[in-house]
Amino acid sequence: MRPLLLAVLSSSLLLAGCASTPADTAPSMVANGTGAALDEAIAGAWRDPANVARDAWRHPKQTLSFFGVRGDQTVIEITPSPGWYSEILAPYLRGNGQYVAAVVDPASQSNEKSRAYYAKNRDVLAQKFAADPAHYDRARIVGFDPKAPVFGPAGSADVVLTFRNVHNWRMAGTAPSMFKGFYDVLKPGGVLGVVEHRAKADVAADDKSGYVGQQQVIAMAQAAGIVLDGQSEVNANPRDTKDHPGGVWMLPPTNQHDAKDDAKYKAIGESDRMTLRFVKPRA
């Protein structure tokens, strides 16, 4: 069994181990011979039961199929901790592809609290991988500075995926640099897949709700040179009113609400989410 390769990069520092028409369709994974392998990864007994319970809200098969993820690709997932999608993607890509988990390098942070937070996130994911080499021994972890992110060699990734992160970058003022980093690491023709809490419309720069306007996300990607290639409603939830006093975090799975309101928020379920597929132009 190959040892776990943990490549935590800040710049190139190795810390350990090593606009088109929107459509609700995607390249057929079955046609590429990878449909059964994806099913097996989603059904894997190694997955945390609490994560499996969220499949009804996160729709991993439909989402990854929409993004056109294949088992022979290099896929970079941005800030995956604690590893919900890692449990699917790392085993799925283990045989013929490469799974890369890109995490914020603690050393890039200016205060001790942030450094501790991101160090813990990185370590939780690293421990998860190290504890199960049969599924994660070929997974890699790379570190990046959100202000000037480098996720890997230029033009090296087939797919970059980000799930419910864009609001954090907007609040931190790092969204432009993050999308530029995606453009740089993607191969020409490579795919950026974005799932994000969807606001009713554009939100202010200082918005703290956790929601982002869909057109705002599209504009961020296009400003970096990445073109919208399709959009799906697979992660939509029309019951989400998006007007919660404490923002999206009042909904499951965070559930930051009073106990007396538990039934109300359970009835809503997880947030309404946009699912957008972008492509780096070949020319």
Query: Strand, helix or coil at 176?
Result: helix
H or E element that contains 102: strand 98-104
Query: What is d(CA 199, CA 167) in angstroms, rounded to the nearest whole number?
Result: 10
Count up the domains in the chain and report the number: 1
Does residue 2 fall inside a structural domain? no
CATH assignment of the domain containing 193: 3.40.50.150
The first and second tokens of residue 116, run together, are 């501790």
Q: How far apart are CA 230 and CA 242, in angstroms?
A: 24
| Domain range for 103 | 9-279
Q: How far is CA 94 from the centre of its chain?
A: 18
* Global model pTM greater than 0.85: yes
Instruction: Find the length of the chain.
Output: 283
The residue among 182, 130, 190, 185 whose CA lies nearest residue 159 is 190
**What is the Cα–Cα distance from 128 to 134, expressed in whole angstroms?**
12
Residue 185 lies in a domain: yes
60 within domain boundaries: yes
Query: Pairing mode, if any, of strands 273-279 and 13-14?
Result: unpaired
Q: Is residue 3 part of a domain?
A: no
Residue 94 lies in a domain: yes
- Any domain includes 146: yes
210: in domain: yes
C-alpha–C-alpha distance, residues 198 and 67, integer Å: 18
269 contacts 239 by C-beta, under 8 angstroms: yes
Tens of pLDDT along the chain (283 residues) come to 333 333 433 333 333 333 333 344 433 333 343 589 999 999 999 999 999 999 999 999 999 999 999 999 999 999 998 999 999 999 999 999 999 999 999 999 999 999 999 999 999 999 999 999 999 999 999 999 999 999 999 999 999 999 999 999 999 999 999 999 999 999 999 999 999 999 999 999 889 999 999 999 999 999 999 999 999 999 999 999 999 999 999 999 999 999 999 999 999 999 999 999 999 999 7
Is 96 contained in some domain?
A: yes
